[in-house]
């Protein structure tokens, strides 16, 4: 198997969110996929194989964390589209058949790629008991993000609070299917981002995800309503950091970013 490590939602290496990408002829057994993802040990490893022409999708795509398969992953989809386009394996928009339906990735002449994902349905909920203590900050509001994303989205007082979080990851496990998205309005929008976020996913083996495309399908409608604009830019303020451009189109959210291949080699086992 040819394997690549791609940094997604960044235009430079060693930033953004790294993902493993393997282009296959067909999917092997689930145990094999899970073992490879554990060996790669990034937030997600993407596995894709081409589908017969004439169908609703061009490639089948699955995503695995080191411990489980997930229903949606933005950065590994961006990374896969980048590999397809940069290697010539696919030209133009590519349609992926996934657990979240057909997802489309469209390359632009400037090197960016736009992903077409389903918008997460937001349902306001009471802040669960224990979340403030686990995060180390008191949320202003909280929202369930639906089954595809599976997170609790919490709004915090300001950008400084989001950046300063030092959560108890084990304590966070009790509060959502995947984890917690913490967000706040940008303190200085002139710096190129409208809101900030950090994402903690201990339930799928990821204490903090560097840049999370799927979370932005929830952050886009949340901040579009508050800021009165459908096109926004989010900064995920993890140690690696990265920007995600968002455009809300009702039931769909467009996620825009770049990617860089940093490692390429052969999987020998």
Which are the catalytic amino acids?
A: 44
Decide if 110 contacts 259 (C-beta within 8 A): no
- Residue 11 φ/ψ, nearest 5 degrees: -110, 15
* Parallel/antiparallel/unpaired status of strands 252-257 and 113-118: antiparallel
Task: Please give the biggest Cα pair distance in the chain.
Answer: 53
Dihedral angle over CA of 231, 236, 242, 244, nearest 10: -20
Bridge partners (DSSP) of residue 117 are 253
Contacts of 29-35 with CB under 8 Å at 24 or more apart are 30/69, 33/62, 33/64, 33/69, 34/64, 34/67, 34/68, 34/69
Residue in the block written with tokens 């995800």 = 209
Of 17, 234, 214, 19, which is closest to residue 117 (Cα–Cα)?
A: 214
* Parallel/antiparallel/unpaired status of strands 195-201 and 231-236: parallel
């Amino acid at each position: 198997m040819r394997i690549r490590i791609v940094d997604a939602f960044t235009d430079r290496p060693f930033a953004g969110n790294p993902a493993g990408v393997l282009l296959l002829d067909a999917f092997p057994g689930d145990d094999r996929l899970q073992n490879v993802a554990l060996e790669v040990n990034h937030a997600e490893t993407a596995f894709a194989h081409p589908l017969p022409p004439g169908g609703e999708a061009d490639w089948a795509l699955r995503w695995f964390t080191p411990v489980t398969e997930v229903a949606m992953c933005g950065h590994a989809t961006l990374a896969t589209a980048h590999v397809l386009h940069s290697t010539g394996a696919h030209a133009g928009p590519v349609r992926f058949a996934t657990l979240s339906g057909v997802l489309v990735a469209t390359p632009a002449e400037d090197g960016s790629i736009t992903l077409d994902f389903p918008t997460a349905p937001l349902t306001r909920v009471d802040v669960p008991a224990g979340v403030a203590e686990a995060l180390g900050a008191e949320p202003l509001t909280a929202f369930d993000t639906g089954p595809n994303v599976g997170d609790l989205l919490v709004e915090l007082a300001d950008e400084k609070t989001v950046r300063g979080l030092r959560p108890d990851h084990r304590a966070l496990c009790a509060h959502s299917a995947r984890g917690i998205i913490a967000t706040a309005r940008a303190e200085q929008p002139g710096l190129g981002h409208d809101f900030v976020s950090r994402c903690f996913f201990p339930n799928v083996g990821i204490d903090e995800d560097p840049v999370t495309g799927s979370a932005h399908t929830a952050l886009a409608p949340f901040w579009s309503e508050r800021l009165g604009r459908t096109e926004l830019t989010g900064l995920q303020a993890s140690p690696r950091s990265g920007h995600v451009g968002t455009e809300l189109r009702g039931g769909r959210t467009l996620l825009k970013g770049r990617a860089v291949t940093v490692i390429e080699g052969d999987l020998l086992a």
